[in-house]
Structure 1
Amino acid sequence: MRRNAGFTLLELVLVLVLLGALSAIFAAHFPKLNFTFESEFMESESRLREAVVYARNQQLLYQDGETTLTIDTNSATCWHGSTTRTFTWSDADVMSLEPPGEVHFADFGRRCSGSECGRVKIDLASKDRSKTLSLTIYESGYIGRTRPEEEGHEN
């Protein structure tokens, strides 16, 4: 009785041909993928998200309604009582913040309470102002990306 101990040469060749075909298809589409837009705002978007999550977590930890997030051109500062933490970035500038002012977090980590609820929109622009990105802080305190084409912006 013969025991099979591995793959045949034909099976190995078929697998290599399939992998080659898949890599050729991916390589043909690779130049069409736009990684520059994603990477251009990676630091600023990441730091803004980190600041919002930090502010939410501070509010969830203490639940006293005293957490405030101030967003400037190249930084976001979280204030809670005597504790201050600043998040900075250098790959983009905050062009606008609507509504202007500070972002407050209510008890249980929500960004607002009662009639003052509304979305906070943050527009970022690359240093050379050639690209823009819009982020939104929702009522729940989470931050999401808004695509420029949804707002009529052109890149």
Structure 2
Amino acid sequence: MPLISLALTAIVRLARKNPDEKAGPVKCAGCHDLMKQKAIEKVAEVPRLERKQPDAVLVKTSVTEVDSKTHKMPPVAYNHKAHEGYNDTCRVCHHASMDACSKCHTISGSKDGKFVNLERSMHTAKSQKACIGCHEEKQDAKKCAGCHDMMEKGKMKGNCL
């Protein structure tokens, strides 16, 4: 579902007398007829919907879970704001909830994360849901190929475990 439709759905739910009332997705045509839709100015860039989300975070393991002898994962800097525009919905990365990755994707894997541990959730190259998998796919785009074709393929020693 496009981000604008999600935003409209949220706004309509907040405006209702009973916000818990079930509602389907809101479509522009529900409020605007075709002529009115054509009159609406198109914006080149959709403004960021503020939901108290961070601009940047450190993806890290749960402190209670870390055993320094067997699990060595340093915090990973993640520019959340820069990644928001690459998907049409937050659910591409967040799946079922807006929680941090490490809540479901634990070091050892948990039922909530479908037993995909934190390391695999980031580094599975064949999965578009994983950080590395998504980056691999996006690097094939023509606008990225110029730089990425010159980069050495494989594990980047400075960034990976």
Q: Same fold (TM over 0.5)?
A: no
Q: TM-score range by the shorter chain?
A: under 0.3
Please report the TM-score for the alignment, with normalisation by the length of structure 2.
0.21
Answer with 1 or 2: which has the greater Rg.
1
Higher strand share: 1
Please report the TM-score for the alignment, with normalisation by the length of structure 1.
0.21
The structure whose RCO (Cα within 8 Å, separation 6+) is larger is 1
